[in-house]
Amino acid sequence: MAYALQQLVNGLTLGMIYGLIAVGYTMVYGIIGMINFAHGDVFMIGAFVGIFVITALTGLTSLPLALLAAFVFSAFICAVYGFAIERVAYRPLRGSFRLAPLISAIGMSILLENYVQVSQGALERAIPNLLPGGITLMDENGFVVQLSWMQMAIMAVTLGLLAAFTYLVTKTPLGRAMRAVEQDAKMAALLGIDTNRTISITFIIGSALAAFAGVMFLLYYGVIDFYIGFNAGIKAFTAAVLGGIGSLPGAVLGGLLIGLIEAFWSGYATVAYKDAAVYSILAIVLMFMPSGLLGRHEVEKV
C-alpha cells in the first residue's frame, strides 16, 4: 500500500511534466495540424537555459529569486526559440505538402540537439538538489512514503500554469482567436483575425510551457544532457495522442496516465520495459479508440 502510494506520487509528478510538454504539442497540432517534432528539443533548451541561470546566480541571490529567474528567463528564451522555429522552418511550408513540415520539424529537432551538443558538449550536466526534504505521508513498517518539497512545487507550478492557460484559451480574446483559427483558419482570417500572429503566439506559449517543464525536469532529476528532449518529446507526443490530439484536457490526462504507467511499471514489473509498456498501452488504446481518450471523433464529408 505504502509502496503503491509512493509510486502514485512519483508518477503524478512525472506525469505533470509530460502533461505540460504535451499541451504544447496538442496546441500546435490543433492550430496548424502538424507534429512539431522539435518541441521536445525546445524543452531541452529550456532545461539548459535553466542550468545557465542557476549556475550564474548560485551564491549571488537567494534561492527563491534564483529559481524564479531561471523559470522566467528560460520561458523567455524558449518563447523566442518557438517563434524563430515557426518563422524559419514551418511558416514557409504552411499549406504545402503534408509531409514537408514533418520532415522540416525532424530536421529542426536534429539541428537543435546537435547545436546544443556542439556548443555545450555531450557531457551530462548535474546540479545539486536545491529543495531537499519533504513531508512524510505514511510510515508502514519502516517504509516511508515521502512527498518531497520539489514534487509539491512541481505539482503546484504545473497546476497554476494549466489554470492560467485554460483561462487564456477559454476567456480571453486571444484564446478565442486561437480557437477560431483552429476551427477554420480561412474564415478566421476573413473575420479580421491575424492568423499569422495567432499561430506565432501559439508557438510562443507552447514553447514557454515547455521551458517551464524543462526547468522543472532539471530541478527534479538534477541531471540533463542534450538528448533528454528526444525521449521526453516522444513521451509527451504519446501523451497528446493518447488523450486525443487537439484536446487540451486530453493532453494533461494523457501525460498523467503515462507518468503513472511508467511509475507503476517500474515499481512492479521491470524498469527496462517501462517505455515499451507505455507504447504498447498507446497502441492498445488507439485500437479501440482511434481518436484517443478525449479526442473528437472525426466526421468525414465526401
Partner 1 sequence: MSAQLEDLKDSAAAAFVALLIFGPFIGLRLTDNDAGNLGLSTRPVALILAVIGVFAARLLILTWARHRPAKLAPGLGARVQKTGKFIAPALLVFAIVMPLLPGLPNAYIDLGVLIMTYVMLGWGLNIVVGLAGLLDLGYVAFYAVGAYSFALISINFGLGFWECLPLAGILAAFWGMCLGFPVLRLRGDYLAIVTLAFGEIIRLVITNWVSLTGGPNGMLGMPEPTLFGLRFSMAGGPGTFAGFFGLTPAPWQRDAFLYYVILGLALLTNWVTLRLRRQPLGRAWEALREDEIACRSLGINVRNTKLTAFAIGAFFGGFAGCFFSARQGFISPDSFTFIESATVLAIVVLGGAGSQLGVVLAACVMIGVPQMLQGLQIYRMLIFGIALVLIMIVRPRGFISTRRPTVLLGKEAVAIGGELRAEGRG
Binding site for partner 1 (CB under 8 A): 29, 35, 45, 48-49, 51-52, 55-56, 77, 80-81, 83-84, 88-89, 92-93, 96-104, 106-121, 125-127, 230, 234, 237-238, 241, 245, 270, 272-273, 275-276, 279-280, 282-284, 286-287, 290-292, 298, 300, 302
Give 52 or 149: the residue with its C-beta nearer to partner 1. 52
Q: Which is nearer to partner 1, 155 or 275 (CB)?
A: 275
Under 8 Å between Cβ of 13 and 155: yes
Return the number of the residue (85 or 145) whose C-beta is nearest partner 1.
85
Least Å from the CB of residue 222 to partner 1: 11
For residues 178 and 282, which CB has a smaller minimum distance to partner 1 in the complex?
A: 282
CB of 94: closest distance to partner 1 in angstroms?
10
**Minimum separation from the CB atom of position 214 to partner 1 (A):** 13
Shortest distance, CB of residue 189 to partner 1, whole angstroms? 21
Taking the least distance from each CB to partner 1, the nearer of 6 and 81 is 81
Supply the minimum distance, in Å, between the C-beta of residue 283 and partner 1.
5
The length of the chain, given as a count of residues: 302
Nearer to partner 1, 187 or 223 (CB): 223
User: Could you count the other beta carbons within 10 Å of the beta carbon of residue 130?
Assistant: 17
Q: Smallest distance, Å, CB 144 to partner 1? A: 30
